[in-house]
Amino acid sequence: MGRSYCDYCHATLKTVDLVPIFSFVGLGGRCRVCKKPVSWQYPIVEAIAGILFVISFLALSASGNLTIAFLLFNFFLVSILIVVAAVDIKFSLIPTSFVYLASLIALLYNFIFLSQDVFIQNVGTAFGAALVFGLIVLVTRGRGMGTGDITLAFLMGLVLGFSQTILAVFLAFFFGALVSVFLIILGKKHFGQTIPFAPFLVLGFLIGLFWGTQILRWYLMVY
């Protein structure tokens, strides 16, 4: 892929230009060479990543599951999911190569660190989630969601397991519907128009990853 460069003048960026958030602030939000403004998407994505890393650490600490391996695995997942959401928002396209990589790493992680029963359950959930999403794509002929969402659903099932995947998918559809209605009310969208769904899947995924056990436990206690 080569070195990072400015989108305007294509000058190769130095290490000092690539320090998250600090480089953006230090350079006044402009390229060091051509002085053209740098998109705000970069510091925003970097800030979100930092916040999610902290949340990941705190969530694992609170649950008593904090280990170096699990923390690094969570950091990796968070990084991949941020890329997936950001690309889908900007281009309405899921970078499936990143999702495939994450699925492979998740499969290896599960095989090494999970019990055989849990490993088999998660793999089964992954294929089940992918099948459900595949049927939605088939029935709606791709208008309801894209094939990239199938790969993301597979990763979700592989990482979260059955109960938390159900929760994550429910939250994804709930927040997706909520935002869609809000956009229609504002006149930004009309009935029949679609919006990128991966960000909502990522949101549900992260909620399930960080707080899924607690939410399900609370739900079972209430109902």
The boundaries of the domain holding residue 171 are: 66-222
* Inside any domain, residue 162: yes
pLDDT at 7: 75
Counting other chains too, the contacts that 74-79 makes at CB distance below 8 Å and 24 or more residues apart are: 74/209, 76/102, 76/105, 77/102, 77/106, 77/159, 77/209, 78/49, 78/52, 78/53, 78/206, 79/49
* Inside any domain, residue 15: no
pLDDT at 2: 57
* Inside any domain, residue 82: yes
pLDDT at 223: 62
Rounded CA-CA distance 82/74 in Å is 12
Q: Tell me if 205 sits within 8 A of 102, measured CB to CB.
A: no
* Inside any domain, residue 90: yes
**pLDDT of the chain along its 223 residues, tens only?**
456 777 788 778 777 777 777 777 887 888 888 888 888 888 899 899 999 999 999 999 998 999 999 999 999 999 999 999 999 998 989 999 999 999 999 999 999 999 999 999 999 999 999 999 999 999 988 776 888 999 999 999 999 999 999 999 999 999 999 998 898 888 887 776 778 899 999 999 999 999 999 999 888 776 6
Rounded CA-CA distance 180/175 in Å is 8
pLDDT at 108: 97
* Inside any domain, residue 27: no
* Inside any domain, residue 49: no
pLDDT digit string, tens, across residues 161-177: 999 999 999 999 999 99
Report which of 173, 148, 167 is spatially closest to residue 85, judged by C-alpha positions: 148
* Inside any domain, residue 50: no
pLDDT at 194: 76
Q: How many domains does the chain have?
A: 1
* Inside any domain, residue 2: no
pLDDT at 158: 97
pLDDT at 143: 75
Rounded CA-CA distance 17/102 in Å is 28
